[in-house]
Structure 1
């Protein structure tokens, strides 16, 4: 058995459990409903209305990704099926890679199809469509989904119980979506006993450390084809690209090392 076979099995299990259909339908309904609410209450342009809807979805997609991926390996461990998987001609590295690819596809494909299916409804709602802006919103949401799926599977490999995995992922989610935004100001206040009117570069940099912020900076630079070379070094887009890359790679490395060295219990 190879990592490709493990990935195919994960995708097939997702299809059989109707996760594909539920996710696809959910993203169609939620995206349209959120866009409709924006249209009813504020009469925005297509970019503003859909952008607001995707902004809300960028908060929900990571939660869905975590729920879809957290049991990828720890669930196999607790059910005892991990013994069976590792008795086949597959090593732990291939198992981890297969689970990452399988769970990522199980989220990526229904999100992509769902967001494509909602386009005609958005066209009817706004009387027009902006392909470039929509593609930018879609890329950012898909990138978020991939990142948190990788994080979920990596933590699932690193820890030995579902409760610990969920606790760790919840703590990580709260940190990157809330704590990092105030951490810089808190450190500054601790040092100076005041909050700066104009934040120094290092405070602004801390606020760009959440992976979704780093991804948004990179995608925006790619779409506008404008790179802030005159901005402070820490606030340039290539630094954001490095931050996002580290958020992807470091959890996988830690998860693999802990998984490789752990006993199968």
Structure 2
């Protein structure tokens, strides 16, 4: 069976990343960032607290690193002139997009797997045997999240001729608004639309609020990994969810169980909808970029 036309480009993209220092420095940072044992996490998960460390890798550091390693994937070559050479190969522009996204995703996923494995080994030695199925499940969702991040950054890179604009959109809009501040933004949007305060200490049982919160790929990622961990239906970090749902402590967290109580929960708030959100973030930006990249003269 013949290999896809984009495969050599993807292989080259992955090799470039895997032979550079950036992804491996990211792997070290992920280990240092994510290893956070605590009594609350141990009480809620036991040895599976180690699996929770893998979720923590994807908080701030992983999205920032993945975006940094991807946002110049096409615009950088456009500015240097090497994109003309790539487009001169027997590749369509769709092949170029796929090769860039898949190759860079692999180049980031490998160091992420190494860091997760190191966390798993440390946790195994210190806290005992954890669930391998949960570990694999969280790691697979993390790889999907990496693919989404690379896809968004590459899509932006494909439709702009300026690294300054690419930086502004990727980090100013996607990272800051949709990752760092989305909880605040979604709460304010809900309050404006509904006329009700979105108080996380006593959240209203309103599907609109929780649907808005999981529009963010960051929160949908944690929603899915919390589902795998079995801690609750929330887009917050696993330790915060455990604190919210399993202790008497009042904490600034939106959780479906605490908001709805015994009331029926809308089907669209099931944790599995996190997969839909991530797939939409994977496909839609790349689809728009493909349309503009194929029809534009952005060389």
Pair in the same fold by TM > 0.5: yes
Query: Could you say which TM-score interval applies, normalised by the shorter chain?
Result: 0.7 to 0.9
Structure with bigger helix share is: 1
Contact 2:30/2:57 (8 A) holds in 1: no
Partner in structure 2 of residue 246 of structure 1: 280
Structure 1 187/219 Cα, relative in aligned 2: closer, same or farther at 3 Å? closer
Distance 1:147 1:104 in 2: 9
Structure 1 242/82 Cα, relative in aligned 2: closer, same or farther at 3 Å? same
Q: How many residues align?
A: 258
Partner in structure 2 of residue 234 of structure 1: 268
Q: What secondary structure, in the 3-state scheme, does the structure 2 residue paired with 1:69 have?
A: coil
Structure 1 21/191 Cα, relative in aligned 2: closer, same or farther at 3 Å? closer
Distance 2:97 2:41 in 1: 47
Distance 1:233 1:169 in 2: 32
1:207 correspondence with 2:213: yes
Contact 2:33/2:57 (8 A) holds in 1: no
Structure 1 120/24 Cα, relative in aligned 2: closer, same or farther at 3 Å? same
Residues 74-89 of structure 1 mapped to structure 2, 5 A cutoff: 74-89=75-90
Q: What secondary structure, in the 3-state scheme, does the structure 1 residue paired with 2:59 have?
A: helix
Gaps of 5+ in 1: none
Distance 1:46 1:100 in 2: 35
Partner in structure 2 of residue 258 of structure 1: 292
Structure 1 81/236 Cα, relative in aligned 2: closer, same or farther at 3 Å? same
Residues 30-179 of structure 1 mapped to structure 2, 5 A cutoff: 30-31=33-34, 34-35=35-36, 38-39=37-38, 44=42, 45-48=46-49, 51=52, 54-55=55-56, 57-170=58-171, 171-179=173-181
Contact 2:71/2:153 (8 A) holds in 1: yes
Contact 1:82/1:264 (8 A) holds in 2: no
